[in-house]
């Protein structure tokens, strides 16, 4: 009987896993099942080039329909998986159809966290996760007007930059003391605050949202510090992993689906990768979950190799990137909340490196508009575990490779 490898989640992770299975010579059935109506696509453009109107719709897709046909990869779009029967080695789709599998990959991703306040169902309140979300938000921003972004994380700041690109009046409301406070800490978060203020964004920091006002369409954001008029609202308060399918099937779940370094669950025939996976990282001695593009584009192939019995472990350094106005940045490494002692910067507010140090060792680093040196030397510093001289690290005259 022919082996059947089923991938639940037709996003970037799933597409890259399917691609790898065929590239590695797997000749059995490959079935990619996705709840969205579209072929697998990349999500970063949704808050960057596509939202800005600089990239066309076709550019976001990982492959076109012809490619999947040529690779004999069965793509079932608009099909939601409702149950996983590990004993029978089957999944059930909405409507009752069941598909058998030899190996199964959970690549179900994550969904936007909802802001549970009065008025959250008003027209004009947007979330950004899917291509359809980006289509609606791009149209709304192109109309101009007053935009309020709730949440100063990556999605919030990128949509704020896009709104300014369209000439909108933009206010960002954030309960924390600085943008990106949870991700980068107050030191570098303050640099991003300055960037947005220079581009005309109003920041309401230390402010919580209590509701949205309006009859059928939003007209204002209600905060614990007053009311802000709004024609468009974007809610960007993070995402939650889609673990329900795994949990209902009795698989271990914490912040995501728990997997080992080879992306295997406790069931030897079920794997997980991408935004939904809580991956054991030997480097950190714990499981971590990373929601960014690199976890999908690298995790999908790593999971495919494990499904084929050739997995060597997934230990890539976390990586992500962001584009806001004329500032392009890349970040690599990881630290838990409060897991660093100091931040060292070199350069100025327009182009700089930043390093997060714990005990004089670099645990994470990023650059903004420093494309000549980029991240290669930063990765080397992190992976080496060497102690560094913070003063030399801060000196732009000292090459990072030294």
Taking only the tens place, the pLDDT of each residue in 58-74 is: 999 999 999 999 999 99
Number of domains in the chain: 3
Q: Are residues 99 and 247 located together in one domain of the fold? A: yes
Percentage helix, strand, coil for the chain under 3-state DSSP, each rounded to 5: 25, 30, 45
pLDDT at 398: 87
* Residue 213: C-alpha distances to residues 171, 201, 330 (Å): 16, 22, 37
Look up tokens 């999605």; give the residue. Answer: 155
pLDDT band at 354 (very low <50, low <70, confident <90, very high): very high
pLDDT at 23: 97
Is residue 44 included in any domain, yes or no?
A: yes
pLDDT at 57: 94
pLDDT at 371: 86
Is residue 313 included in any domain, yes or no?
A: no
pLDDT at 312: 74
Mean pLDDT within 7-30: 97
Q: What is the mean pLDDT of the chain?
A: 94
pLDDT band at 316 (very low <50, low <70, confident <90, very high): confident
- Dihedral class, residue 285 (left if φ above 0, else alpha if ψ from -120 to 50, else beta): left
What ranges make up the beta strands (E) of 128-199?
146-150, 169-174
Q: Is the pLDDT of residue 149 over 90?
A: yes
pLDDT at 15: 98
pLDDT at 328: 93
Residue that terminates a domain, selected from 235, 252, 282 = 235
Q: Are residues 208 and 253 located together in one domain of the fold? A: no
As a whole-number percent, the residues of the chain with pLDDT over 70 amount to: 100
Phi/psi for 298 (5° steps) reads -100, -35
pLDDT at 2: 83
Per-residue model confidence as pLDDT tens digits over 180-220: 998 899 889 999 999 999 999 999 999 999 999 999 999 99
Give the number of other CB atoms < 10 A from CB of residue 339.
13
What is the maximal distance between C-alpha atoms in the chain?
Answer: 66
- Quote the tokens at residue 114: 């909802």
Is residue 399 included in any domain, yes or no?
A: no
pLDDT at 102: 98
Q: For the domain that residue 118 is a member of, what is the CATH number?
A: 3.50.50.60
* Residue 340: C-alpha distances to residues 25, 184, 307 (Å): 44, 10, 36
Q: Are residues 101 and 118 located together in one domain of the fold? A: no
Report the DSSP beta bridge partners of residue 343: 356
As a whole-number percent, the residues of the chain with pLDDT over 90 amount to: 86
Q: Are residues 219 and 119 located together in one domain of the fold? A: yes
Please report which residue ranges of 261-350 form alpha helices under DSSP H. Answer: 293-307
pLDDT at 268: 96
Q: Are residues 341 and 389 located together in one domain of the fold? A: yes
Closest alpha carbon to 258 in 280, 236, 227, 237: 280
Give the domain range for residue 365. Answer: 326-394
CA 37 centroid distance within chain: 20
pLDDT band at 401 (very low <50, low <70, confident <90, very high): confident
Q: Are residues 82 and 97 located together in one domain of the fold? A: yes
Separation CA 365–CA 352 (nearest Å): 11
pLDDT band at 314 (very low <50, low <70, confident <90, very high): confident
pLDDT at 260: 96
Q: Are residues 223 and 246 located together in one domain of the fold? A: no
Is residue 320 included in any domain, yes or no?
A: no
pLDDT at 221: 98
Q: Are residues 19 and 98 located together in one domain of the fold? A: yes
CA 254 centroid distance within chain: 18
- Cβ–Cβ under 8 Å, residues 124 and 34: no
Q: Are residues 55 and 195 located together in one domain of the fold? A: no
Is residue 289 included in any domain, yes or no?
A: yes
Q: Is the pLDDT of residue 298 over 80?
A: yes
Residue that terminates a domain, selected from 212, 235, 258 = 235
Is residue 246 included in any domain, yes or no?
A: yes
pLDDT band at 400 (very low <50, low <70, confident <90, very high): confident
pLDDT at 383: 93
What ranges make up the beta strands (E) of 169-276?
169-174, 202-205, 209-213, 220-223, 226-229, 232-235, 239-241, 257-259, 270-272
- Cβ–Cβ under 8 Å, residues 127 and 135: no
Q: For the domain that residue 334 is a member of, what is the CATH number?
A: 3.30.390.30
| 343-370 exposure pattern, b = at least 16 Cβ within 10 A, e = fewer | bbbbbeeebbbbbbbeeebbbbbbbbeb
Q: Are residues 129 and 205 located together in one domain of the fold? A: yes
Sign of the C-alpha dihedral computed for residues 58, 139, 197 and 156 taken in this order: negative
Is residue 159 included in any domain, yes or no?
A: yes
Q: Are residues 215 and 245 located together in one domain of the fold? A: no
Q: Is the pLDDT of residue 373 over 80?
A: no
Q: Is the pLDDT of residue 324 over 90?
A: yes
Q: Are residues 137 and 243 located together in one domain of the fold? A: no
* Residue 62: C-alpha distances to residues 18, 41, 42, 209, 296 (Å): 11, 5, 6, 37, 12
Closest alpha carbon to 8 in 75, 66, 72, 71: 75
Residues 6+ apart with CB under 8 A from 165: 52
Is residue 80 included in any domain, yes or no?
A: yes
Residue length of the chain: 402
Residue that terminates a domain, selected from 205, 235, 265 = 235
pLDDT band at 363 (very low <50, low <70, confident <90, very high): very high
pTM over 0.75: yes
């Amino acid at each position: 009987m022919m082996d059947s490898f089923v991938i639940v989640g037709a996003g970037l992770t799933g597409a890259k896993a399917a691609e790898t299975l065929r590239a590695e010579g797997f000749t059995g059935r490959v079935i990619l099942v996705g709840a969205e109506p579209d072929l697998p696509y990349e999500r970063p453009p949704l808050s960057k080039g596509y939202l800005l109107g600089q990239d066309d719709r076709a550019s976001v897709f990982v492959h076109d329909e012809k490619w999947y046909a040529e690779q004999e990869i069965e793509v079932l779009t608009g099909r939601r998986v409702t149950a996983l029967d590990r004993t029978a080695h089957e999944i059930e789709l909405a409507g009752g159809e069941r598909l058998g599998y030899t190996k199964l990959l959970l690549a179900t991703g994550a969904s936007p966290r909802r802001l549970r306040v009065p008025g959250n169902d008003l027209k004009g309140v947007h979330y950004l996760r899917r291509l359809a979300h980006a289509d609606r938000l791009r149209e709304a921003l192109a109309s101009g007007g007053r935009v309020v972004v709730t949440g100063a994380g990556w999605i919030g700041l990128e949509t704020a930059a896009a709104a300014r690109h369209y000439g909108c009046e933009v206010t960002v409301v954030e309960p924390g003391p600085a943008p990106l406070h949870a991700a980068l800490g107050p030191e570098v978060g303050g640099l991003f605050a300055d960037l947005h203020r220079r581009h005309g964004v109003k920041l309401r920091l230390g402010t919580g949202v209590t509701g949205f006002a309006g009859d059928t369409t939003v007209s204002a954001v209600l905060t614990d510090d007053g009311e802000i008029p709004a024609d468009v609202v974007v809610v960007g308060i993070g995402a939650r992993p889609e673990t329900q399918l795994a949990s209902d099937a009795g698989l271990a779940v914490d912040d995501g689906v728990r997997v080992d370094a080879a992306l295997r669950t406790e069931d030897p025939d079920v794997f997980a990768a991408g935004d939904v996976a809580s991956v054991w990282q030997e480097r950190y001695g714990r499981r971590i979950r990373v929601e960014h593009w690199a976890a999908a584009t690298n995790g999908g192939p790593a999971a495919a190799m494990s499904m084929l019995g050739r997995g060597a472990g997934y230990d890539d350094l976390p990586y992500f990137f962001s584009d806001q106005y004329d500032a392009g940045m890349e970040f690599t490494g990881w630290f838990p909340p409060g897991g660093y002692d100091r931040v060292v910067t070199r350069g100025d507010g327009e182009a700089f490196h930043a390093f997060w140090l714990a005990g004089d060792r670099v645990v994470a680093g990023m650059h903004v508009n420093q494309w000549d040196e980029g991240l290669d030397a930063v990765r080397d510093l992190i992976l080496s575990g060497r102690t560094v001289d913070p003063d030399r690290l801060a000196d732009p005259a000292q090459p990072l490779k030294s």
